[in-house]
């Protein structure tokens, strides 16, 4: 049961008013905004076409690389918030001649003014991934939920004020082969909702796109999928490693990719490039990428990457005493970027001749399973009502295996279809947009209600769960949600269907995760090794 739409609209309006003071874009030395028109980027002031000449820029969070003062469990370092790191590297970014950097994770709770201002003075724009290591759309178990959406909104809120934010990536290689194409609807829903959020908040038009890999079986379908229908990415990046060493336009695969993306409806560029099978890398692909054969189609690219790590893709190495050493790759990249002089088209000329080129959504096949039906926009108010109305709540569990084991147990007694999301069938449960902890609390509470337990005790004796005293007096705005939960609690279990005959396709969304247990006591041994009992 959905909450009243008016409540959601009221909350959004209130948030917009609260953030109104943040909506003023920082002038930052007068650096002009880069805008998307058709399938190209343009300088909003000069009208000249903008080509990305960039590099991926994210320091390692490996324990041996962490600066003093970082917690041992640090998952990433935000280089735009660390003034010392940023200022240390600025001269080298300038020397490389880049006009764009890509940052894969930022901390939206930290200030970024100093670094963004310094980058702006150098004429450097920033492409930012919205995710971070612990909060993203995971290809094996994709979900578009309130926690991930809030993370994405927080990043947008913290970075939208900077002129030199070129755009945001809503995902990076989430679908990377034929086995996980069902994850793409969740990323496309993220693009839809982040774009709508930017518009609703009154921010300037900030492009939201996607970064894909170059998988032979899925690349054509992926490209079409993210620009077809009513929801489209604003730009499309490809992590491209086909050109190795001294290859050529004809033998590398660049010619084929260029022909495939000719007349693509949005800007397309290399979100990563720089095959390292031969080192030092000569970066001769830059001559082709910014030459006359490719610039009518491609908007440049970003070399991977600035920092040298174990994967050996860096152009500099940072020593333990914080000194930056230029590697041979650095000098080669600098030389090739310096020679690159791409010739584009003026916006005024382009707008007169450009025709919109739409793409048809790919049909389902053995290598493509993604549905055109997207997950709903995560409803924070509805999921928040679960916190207030459910009788049993879960704490945040640190070990993902704990969630998995609890779900497997509880879903043997209650119907868990209301939290399932299936990107191949395009079927999404009523509470599939809530976060993992809320979903577990929901299923545990359904078991509590199903067994009509009169005590103020949850049906699993564990320190991971507690009885929610607030549920005794449910707020009026959450009563509808609780009525729906009671209905869901009494639904019949969905038994796994028999295996389909060879060559047959059986639609059994989520059924493989649901099974009955023959005992009321379950001993689970996992990395956290816990034992719990069903209370009779």
Q: What is the predicted pLDDT for the residue at 455?
A: 83
Determine the distance from the C-alpha atom of residue 508 to the mean position of all C-alpha atoms in its chain, rounded to a whole number: 27
Any bridge partners for residue 121, and if so which?
A: none
Q: What is the predicted pLDDT for the residue at 373?
A: 99
- For residue 263, give every residue at least 6 positions away whose Cβ sits within 8 Å of its Cβ, in sequence order, or none: 39, 357
Q: What is the predicted pLDDT for the residue at 106?
A: 98
Residues in the chain: 536
Question: What residue ranges do the domains of the chain occupy?
Answer: 48-353, 380-495+507-533
Q: With helix as H, strand as E and coil as C, how does 60-121 read? A: CCCHHHCCCCCCCCCCCCCCCCCHHHHHHHHHHHHHHCCCEEEECCCCCCCCCHHHHHHHHH
3-state secondary structure of 471: helix
Average of per-residue pLDDT values in the chain: 88
Q: Per residue in 27-54, pLDDT tens?
A: 445 799 999 999 999 999 999 999 999 9
124: nearest Cα among 89, 98, 158: 98
pTM above 0.85, yes or no: yes
Average pLDDT value for residue range 78-95: 98
Give percent of the chain with pLDDT exceeding 90. 79
Average pLDDT value for residue range 244-261: 98
Q: What is the predicted pLDDT for the residue at 398?
A: 87
**Integer Cα distance of 471 and 509 in angstroms:** 32
**Integer Cα distance of 458 and 535 in angstroms:** 8
**Integer Cα distance of 129 and 155 in angstroms:** 9
Catalytic residues: 173, 272
Query: Do 294 and 258 contact (CB within 8 A), yes or no?
Result: yes
Determine the distance from the C-alpha atom of residue 327 to the mean position of all C-alpha atoms in its chain, rounded to a whole number: 31
Average pLDDT value for residue range 319-324: 95
Region of poorest pLDDT, from 62-71, 154-163, 177-186, 265-274: 62-71
User: Which residue intervals of 122-249 are DSSP H helices?
Assistant: 146-159, 184-200, 219-225
Q: Which fold has domain 380-495+507-533?
A: Methane Monooxygenase Hydroxylase; Chain G, domain 1 (1.20.58)
Q: Per residue in 326-382, pLDDT tens?
A: 999 999 999 999 999 999 999 999 999 999 889 999 999 999 999 999 999 999 999
- For residue 34, give every residue at least 6 positions away whose Cβ sits within 8 Å of its Cβ, in sequence order, or none: 41, 42, 43, 44, 50, 125, 166
Q: What are the CA-CA distances from residue 121 to residues 27, 35, 163 (Å)?
A: 11, 19, 11
Where is 127: in which H helix or E strand?
strand 125-129
**Integer Cα distance of 45 and 402 in angstroms:** 54
- Domain 48-353: state its class: alpha beta
Any bridge partners for residue 132, and if so which?
A: 135
**Integer Cα distance of 325 and 306 in angstroms:** 11
Q: What are the CA-CA distances from residue 170 to residues 102, 153, 216 (Å)?
A: 13, 11, 22
* Residue 43 phi, psi dihedral angles, 5° rounding: -70, 120
Report whether pLDDT(516) > 50: no
Report whether pLDDT(513) > 80: no
Q: Per residue in 125-163, pLDDT tens?
A: 999 999 999 999 999 999 999 999 999 999 999 999 999
Q: What is the predicted pLDDT for the residue at 536?
A: 33
**Integer Cα distance of 97 and 508 in angstroms:** 54
pLDDT tier, 9 (very low <50, low <70, confident <90, very high otherwise): very low
């Amino acid at each position: 049961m959905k909450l009243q739409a008016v409540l959601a609209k009221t909350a959004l309006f209130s948030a917009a008013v609260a953030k109104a003071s943040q909506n003023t874009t920082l002038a930052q030395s007068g650096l002009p905004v880069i805008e998307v028109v058709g399938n190209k980027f343009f300088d909003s002031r000069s009208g000249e076409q903008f080509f990305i000449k960039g590099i991926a820029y994210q320091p390692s969070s490996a324990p041996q690389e962490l600066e003093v003062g970082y917690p041992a469990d640090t998952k990433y370092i935000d280089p735009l918030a660390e003034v010392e790191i940023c200022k240390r590297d600025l001269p080298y970014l300038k020397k490389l001649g880049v006009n764009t950097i890509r940052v894969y994770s930022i901390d939206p709770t930290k200030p970024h003014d100093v670094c963004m201002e310094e980058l702006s003075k150098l004429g450097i724009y920033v492409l930012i991934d919205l995710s971070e290591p612990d909060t993203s759309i995971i290809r094996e178990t994709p979900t578009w939920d309130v926690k991930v959406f809030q993370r994405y909104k927080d990043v947008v809120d913290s970075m939208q004020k900077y002129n030199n934010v070129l755009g945001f990536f809503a995902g990076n290689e989430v679908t990377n082969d034929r086995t996980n194409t069902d994850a793409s609807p969740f990323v496309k829903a993220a693009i839809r909702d982040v774009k709508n959020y930017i518009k609703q908040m009154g921010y300037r038009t900030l492009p939201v796109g996607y970064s894909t890999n170059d998988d032979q079986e899925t690349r054509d379908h992926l490209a079409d999928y993210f620009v077809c229908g009513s929801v489209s990415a604003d730009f499309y990046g490809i992590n491209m490693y086909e050109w190795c060493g001294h290859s050529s336009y004809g033998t590398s695969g660049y010619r084929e990719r260029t022909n495939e993306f000719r007349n693509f409806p949005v800007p397309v560029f290399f979100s990563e490039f720089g095959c390292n099978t031969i080192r030092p890398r000569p970066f001769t692909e830059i001559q082709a990428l910014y030459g006359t054969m490719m610039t009518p189609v491609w908007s440049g690219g970003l070399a991977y990457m600035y920092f040298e790590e174990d994967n050996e893709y860096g152009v500099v190495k940072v020593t333990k005493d914080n000194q930056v050493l230029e590697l041979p790759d650095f000098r080669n990249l600098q030389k090739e970027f310096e020679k690159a002089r791409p010739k584009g088209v003026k916006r005024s000329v382009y707008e007169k001749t450009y025709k919109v080129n739409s793409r048809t959504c790919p049909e389902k096949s053995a290598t493509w399973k993604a549905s055109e039906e997207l997950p709903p926009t995560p409803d924070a108010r509805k999921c928040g009502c679960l916190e207030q109305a459910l009788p049993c709540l879960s704490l945040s569990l640190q070990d993902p295996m704990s969630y998995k084991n609890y779900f497997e147990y509880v879903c043997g007694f209650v119907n868990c279809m209301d939290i399932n999301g299936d990107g191949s069938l395009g079927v999404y449960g009523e509470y599939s947009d809530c976060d993992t902890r809320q979903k577990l609390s929901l299923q545990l509470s359904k078991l509590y209600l199903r067994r009509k337990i009169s005590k103020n005790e949850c049906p699993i004796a564990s320190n991971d769960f507690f009885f929610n005293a607030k549920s005794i007096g449910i707020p009026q705005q959450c009563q509808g949600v609780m009525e729906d939960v009671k209905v869901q609690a009494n639904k019949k279990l969905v038994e796994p269907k028999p295996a389909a005959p060879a060559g047959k396709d059986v639609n059994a969304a989520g059924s493989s995760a649901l099974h009955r247990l023959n005992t009321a006591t379950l001993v689970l041994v996992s990395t956290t090794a816990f034992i719990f009992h069903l209370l009779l």
